[in-house]
Structure 1
Amino acid sequence: MAARRSYEVIAEALRQSIRTGRLSAGTVLLEGGIAELFGSSRTPVRQALDLLLDENAVSRFQGRGVVVGDGSVAPERRRLDPADIGQLPEAPAKVWAWQTVYQAVEHELVRASVFGCHRVNEVELARHYGIGRTVGHDVLVRIQATGILTKDRRAHWITVPLDDQRVRDLYALRELLEPAMLRLAATRIPAGVLLHMRNGLRDAMLVYPDAGAEQLDRLEHDLHVVCPSFAGNPELLAALTRTRCIIISSKHILHHAGALPAGDPFMREHDRVLAALQQGDGEAAAHALLVHLRNARTKVLRRLRRFRETQLPPSSPYIGPTMDDLPERAANLSSGGFDRRSEIRTAGGAESDPGRRS
C-alpha cells in the first residue's frame, strides 16, 4: 500500500478530532496554527482543509481560516493544543531545531530558578548544545513565556527566582484566574474530551503511587492547561501562561522529592473537578479547583524547600552563579530589572507557546 500523502494524514487527523469532539463546532482553524502542530508547511494544511470543506466538515466565514461545522455556531478563536489533535504515528512531525534542546534547557533553568536569580548566557548556551545562536534565542524566548526567564534592564537573560514569596504570588494569581476560566469553559469542553481525561485519571489512580512522571504530568496538563483553554478568552489564557512555571517545576524536580505519598489526595481532587465539568456545573468545578489549588500551594512550597536543602544549583556553563553573589548585578536587578510587583501587570505580555502535583 502506498504511503499516504501529508495532506491526507492531516485531513484524517482533523476529521477524527471533529468526530470525537476534540474540535468542537465553531472552533476556528488557521493554516499557520495547524502547520505548527503537525510540523509541516502550510501547503499540505491548505489541501487538507480543502478536503474538509468539500466534505462539509468545516465551512468558511467572514474571517481568516475556516470554522468547524456548518457555521451556525459563533466562531471561537483559541490556540490549538496537541491534545486537540491526538497522535500521528503515520506522519512523524518535523522536529524543529529548538525542540531538540528545549527540554534539557528548561530542566536546567527551572532548577536554577529554585535557587535564585542567575544570569543566562545565550552565546554559551548555543555553544554548549552545538546549535546556532538564533535557535538558542528561540528556546529562551519560549521559556520566557512560562515565567521562568526574563531580561534585566541591560537586556541580559536572567532566571526569575522561584522563591517562597513568588510561589505564593503565582498561586494567588492562579486562584483568581483558573476557577473563573473553568466557569466559562464548563459548557464548552466536549464530552469526549472530558471522558478521555477522566479515563486517563482513573488509569493513573489504579497504579498510583507507581504512576510515571509523564503520566502525572499529563494529568496536570489536562486540568490546568487544556480545560482553561476552552474558556474562550485569550487574554486570560495569556495571563495564566505566566504561572506555568509552577507546573514545570513539579515536572522537573519530582524525582528529587522522595517517594509519592500513598495518601496524597490530589487525584481525588482532580476527579471532583472533572466530574463537575461532566455535569456542566461550572460553579462546582470552580469551587473544587480552588480547594485543589490551595492544598497544592502548601505541598509545592514544602517540596521546593526540600529540594533546596538536598540539591545543588545546576553547573551548566551557560548559567552563572546566583546574583546574590554578585552585588553589583543584584543592585542592577533590583533597581531596573525584574520586579515581582509587575508579575500580574505584565502577565499577558509574554509571547505564548504544563501535593506532588500543582
Structure 2
Amino acid sequence: MHPQGPVPPRDPRAAVREVPEAAGCGQRDRRSVSQGVTASAPGSSRPFEATDGGGQAERETGPMQSRVSDRLRRLIRSGAIRPGERLLEVRVAQAFGVSRSPARAALAMLLREGLLRKVDGRGFVVAGSSPLAADHPQGFASLPGDFPIEPAPRWERILVEVEQALSSHALFGAVRITEERLAACFGVSRTVARDVLVRMQAIGLLDKDRLGRWVAERLTPERIRDLYEIRWLLEPQALCHSAPGIGAGRLRQMRAALVATLANMPSADSPLLDRLEHELHVELLAGCRNREMLRALEATRVLLVSNRYVFDLFLGIPVEVIAGSLREHLEVLDALLAGDARRAAMALEAHLRASCGHWLERLERVRPLSHPPFPPYLSALADR
C-alpha cells in the first residue's frame, strides 16, 4: 500500500494509437482522447528552464490549449484562483484572449488531472474547498484584469511536425534535413527554419556532420542503451540534489494527478501524459545545483521526443505499459514524500532501466515495417 493512498488496479486494456499522417508540410499533429496516447515525456525541444512558484516554466510554449491549461494550473496552484471557485469556458476564453475551443480543451485537461470538478449546467469548479470561495464564486473575479496569451513564435508552430518526421525516419536510417527546403516547405524564413534546427540539435535529435550538413543519425539499439545509461546514472543523482527544495505540497499535487490518471487510464491523452513525464524527468530535477549535469541530460532528450511520436505512429503503446510506467512514477513520489531521497533515486533508476527495455523491445517491432515517405525537406544519407 502506498503511504499517500491507494493506487488504482492495473487496467490491461487494448493499446491506443495515433493515426499516421502522410508526408508533407504544415499538417497538424492530430491527437484525440482515444488516439495518440504515449508514455513519454514532455516532448518539446526546450532546455531545462527555471520555474515559478508553481513549478511550471514561466515561458509558455506549445499548443494554445496547453498554454491556457498551464496558465490556469499556475493560478490554481498559487491560490490566485481558489478551491470552490467556478470557471466557465466563455470566461476563460475572454480572460486569455483565445477562442472557446482551446479554452474548452484546457478545462477538460485540468478536469482529467483532478484540479477541477464538473458541475452540471454551471461549468467547472476548482477542486477542494475554501471558506473564501463563496465570496468569489466566479473564477477570475478577484483578479485584476485579463491575461492575454501571446501567439506562439513561428518556429514553434512547425516544430512538432518536424520533430515527428525526423524521429520516425531516424528509426530506419540516417537522414539529412535541408534548411532551405524546410523554410520553403513551411513558408517561413531561413532564420525561422534555423531556429527549429538549433532547438532539435540541443536535445540530440540532429547535429552537423563534418561536411556542414544537418544530419540525424540512426537510432540504433547501441545508441539507445548509451543514452539511457547516461540517464540512469545522472537523473537519480540530480534528484538527490533537488529533493531538499521540493515542497511536499507540490509532490502531493503530482501524486494526485498520477492517481487520477491511472483511475481514468483509457481516457488519458498525450498532453496529460507528457505533463506527468515532464514533472518527473524535468521539473523534479530542475533544482539540481549542478547545471552541467542538467546540460548533459538535455542531450538525452532525443529519447523523449522520439518515444513521444514514433511508437504511437507505428505501433501504439499498450495501456498496461503506460500504467506500469506511471506506477513507477508513484514509487518515486512516495519515497520523496516519505523524506527518503535515496529510495526515490533508486526507484527512478529502476524506472529508467525498465524504460530502456521497453524502448528496445518496441524498436525491434518497428524495424520490419515499411519506411514512411519522406517530406520534401528530408532525404536518406547513402554514406551512412
TM-score under structure 2 normalisation?
Answer: 0.61
CA offset digits 1:42-66 (Å, max 9, x no partner): xxxxxxxxxxxxxxxxxxxxxxxxx
User: Counterparts of 2:345 and 2:207 in 1: how far apart (Å)?
Assistant: 31
* 2:188 paired with 1:131: yes
Alignment of 1:309 with 2:371, yes or no, is no
The question of whether the paired residues in 1 share the 8 Å contact of 2:155 and 2:196 is answered with: yes
Distance 1:311 1:251, change over 3 A: farther
Q: 2:307 aligns with which of 250, 256, 259?
A: 250
The share of aligned pairs that are identical, in percent, is 38
Q: 2:207 aligns with which of 150, 160, 164?
A: 150
Q: 2:327 aligns with which of 268, 278, 299?
A: 268
**AA of the residue aligned to 2:150:** A
**Gapped runs of 5+ residues in structure 1?**
1-15, 24-32, 40-87, 331-358
Kindly report which structure 2 residues correspond to 1:7-18, keeping only aligned pairs within 5 A, or say none: 18=53
Q: Secondary structure at the match of 1:309?
A: coil
> Cα gap change, 1:231/1:259 in structure 2, threshold over 3 Å: closer, same or farther?
closer
The alignment yields a C-alpha RMSD, in angstroms, of 2.4
Please name the residue that 2:278 is paired with: 221
How many residues align? The count is 250
Alignment partner, residue 111 of structure 1: 168
Q: For residues 245 and 281 of structure 1, do their structure 2 counterparts lie closer, same or farther at Cα, with a shift above 3 Å needed?
A: same
C-alpha spacing 1:215/1:22, structure 2 compared with 1 (3 Å): closer
| Aligned-residue offset at 1:89 | 7.9
Equivalent in the alignment of 1:187: 244
> Could you say which residue in structure 1 is the equivalent of 2:76?
none
Alignment partner, residue 29 of structure 1: none
Q: CA deviation at 1:98?
A: 0.7
Higher helix share: 1
**Distance between the aligned counterparts of 2:200 and 2:373, measured in 1?**
17
Counterpart check, 1:318 vs 2:377? yes
* 1:91 is the counterpart of 2:148: yes
1:158-237 matches, within 5 Å, as: 158-237=215-294
Report the counterpart of residue 22 of structure 1 in structure 2.
55
4+ runs of 1 displaced by more than 6 Å? none
CA contact (8 A) 2:234 2:293 kept: yes
Partner residue in 2 for 1:342: none
The alpha carbon displacement at 1:138 in A equals 0.5
Q: State the Cα distance separating 1:187 from its structure 2 match.
A: 1.2
Deviations along 1:294-351, one digit per CA (max 9) or x if unpaired, are 1111101111222232342341111111x2xx2xx33xxxxxxxxxxxxxxxxxxxxx
Is contact 2:208-2:214 (8 Å) kept? Answer: yes
Task: Give the deviation of 1:266 after TM superposition.
Answer: 1.2
* Structure-1 residue corresponding to 2:26: none
Distance in 1 of aligned mates of 2:241 and 2:189: 42
Q: 1:172 to 1:318 in 2, by over 3 A?
A: same
Partner of 1:289: 348
Work out the CA distance in 1 between the residues paired with 2:179 and 2:148: 33
- Given that 2:166 and 2:216 are in contact with CA atoms closer than 8 Å, whether structure 1 keeps it comes out as yes
Q: After alignment, is 179-188 or 309-318 more displaced?
A: 309-318
Task: Write the letter of the residue equivalent to 2:55.
Answer: R
Equivalent position SS for 1:265: helix
The verdict on how the C-alpha distance between 1:22 and 1:118 changes in structure 2, with shifts beyond 3 A counting, is closer
Question: Which of 1 and 2 has higher RCO (CA within 8 Å, sep 6+)?
Answer: 2
Alpha-carbon deviation of 1:104?
A: 0.9
Please give the alpha-carbon distance, in whole angstroms, between the structure 2 residues aligned to 1:253 and 1:193: 31
Report if aligned partners of 1:115, 1:161 keep a CA contact under 8 Å in 2.
yes
Amino acid at match of 1:270: H
120-129 vs 230-239, greater mean Cα deviation:
230-239
Q: Which runs of 5+ in 2 are unaligned?
A: 1-50, 63-144
Q: Which amino acid aligns with 2:272?
A: Q
CA contact (8 A) 1:110 1:249 kept: yes
